[in-house]
Amino acid sequence: MVSNADVLRYLSSMDYPASKEQIIHGAQEAGAPPQVLRALRALPPVDYQNSNEVLRSAATDVAPEVTPADLAARARDRKHQRVAQHLRGI
């Protein structure tokens, strides 16, 4: 799966707001590889106001260096779990 950094690399010169078609065309013009174009083609057909909106909608991996095992270990680690302040007295 492609990472957010990979997608941003090919959208750096994009002018917003932009439609899905404009984003894909801009990435093609920038020389994006097939996996980046595949992630962008999965976007819903709406206008995007900035690159953050594109990343939220694209089929990307936010942190490719973090394995599913790492995520599970973090979930089990009671020492680093955060509790909202309004729930601390319960």
pLDDT mean over 44-63: 87
**20 three-class SS:** helix
Whether 82 shows a pLDDT value over 60: the answer reads yes
**18 three-class SS:** strand
pLDDT at 81: 64
Concatenate the DSSP letters of all residues of 24-86 into one string.
HHHHHHTT--HHHHHHHHTS-SS-BSSHHHHHHHS--BS-TTS-HHHHHHHHH-GGG----GG
φ, ψ for residue 24 (rounded to 5)?
-65, -45
pLDDT at 32: 94
Q: Which domain holds residue 37?
A: 4-87
Count of structural domains, the chain: 1
Type of residue at 39: A
Write down the mean pLDDT value for the chain.
84
